[in-house]
Amino acid sequence: MSRRFGGEGLRAARHVLRAYPALLRVGFADMFAYRAELVVWLLTMNMPLVMMALWTAVAATGPVGRFGQREFVAYYLGMLLVRILTGSWLVWELTMEIRQGTLAPRLLRPIHPLWAHSAMQLAAVPMRAVLVSPLLFILYWAAGERLPLHEPERMAIALTAIAGAWMLLFLIMAIIGTLAAFVESALSIFDVWLGAQAVLSGYLVPLELLPPWVAQAARYLPFRYILGFPVETLIGLESTSSALHELGVQALFIAGSLVAALALWRAALRRFAAFGG
């Protein structure tokens, strides 16, 4: 029996690998259709810049903890970069598809809808990377010596942490979006999540500047691994050994979220009413 399931699993994996380039291509083409929307979305990502202005003013009279003016600039530019590269709109897509029944056509295709969604979202990353590339020059000015440009190991850890952040946020959004099959207010739940994430991920304030008990609590929650951890790794606030350890914690959160997302998805399909039509 397990061999049969193993064989089916392998076949499914091969099928996903074969189909994924086509999904990415479609996602890329679709993203170009929404290029203006993408630019507008980028312009709304101004909170790190506001916080950067605020904290550099505070740091004008002296460093705050480990953060001088240049560290704040590097931190918030890194935050902006990670936020833009890892951003996802899955939760809005899923809630709409479940509530309006437009998930139905996706369910009739022989690939898990989350794979298809992941391709659509990933396809937007290259264009976002191009659009935010000017930020890299400022980041280099602010944290050039701290950036892992000449350290392949640290660079690999930082890029893995950013990829992990993308996966974790995608899966969290999948979980909350799937809740739309059970409750009408899945988007309100996501608003609550966003509120907590703003504080506990280090998005507004670096976690080490928060009261110690908050910073400590954040280490046991997934928020930090979506934003704070990849930024700290990128601008050299984490030592290599500590970053490797944190990468393991991030992987655990990803694995847990994946299991939860798939279990919830299966339960949601039983509740899906395929409304409309």
Partner 1 sequence: MIRARNLCKTYRVHRRPPGLLAALRSVVRRRTEEVQALVDVSFDIAPGERVGFLGPNGAGKTTALKILSGLLYPTSGTVTVGGFVPQERRNEFLHMITLVMGQKQQLLWDLPPAETFAMNRALFDLPRREADATQQELVDLLEIGALIGKPTRQLSLGERMKCELVAALLHRPRVLFLDEPTIGLDVSMQARVRDFIRRYNEATGASVLLTSHYMEDVAALCPRVIVIDKGHLIYDGDLRTLARRIRPEKRITMHFSSVPAPGELDRLGNCVARSELQATLAVPAAQVTEAVRAALGRLPISDISVEDPPLEEIMQEFLGGQPANGGARSA
Contact footprint for partner 1 (CB under 8 A):
12, 15, 18-19, 21-23, 25-26, 29-30, 33-34, 101-102, 104-105, 107-111, 116, 269-270, 272-274, 276-277
Least distance from C-beta 137 to partner 1, angstroms?
33
Pick 33 or 60: Cβ nearer partner 1: 33
Compute the least distance from the CB of residue 23 to partner 1, in Å. Answer: 7
Q: Which is nearer to partner 1, 127 or 155 (CB)?
A: 127
B/e letters for 134-150, b = 16+ CB within 10 Å, e = fewer, are: eeeeebeebbeebbbee
> Is the Cβ of residue 30 or residue 191 nearer to partner 1 in the bound state?
30
Query: In the complex, what is the shortest distance from the CB of residue 64 to partner 1, in angstroms, rounded to a whole number?
Result: 44
Q: How far is the CB of 123 from partner 1 (least distance, A)?
A: 12
Q: Which is nearer to partner 1, 4 or 150 (CB)?
A: 4
Closest to partner 1 by CB, 14 vs 66, is 14
CB of residue 29 to partner 1, shortest distance in Å: 6
Phi and psi torsions of 64, nearest 5°: -110, 110
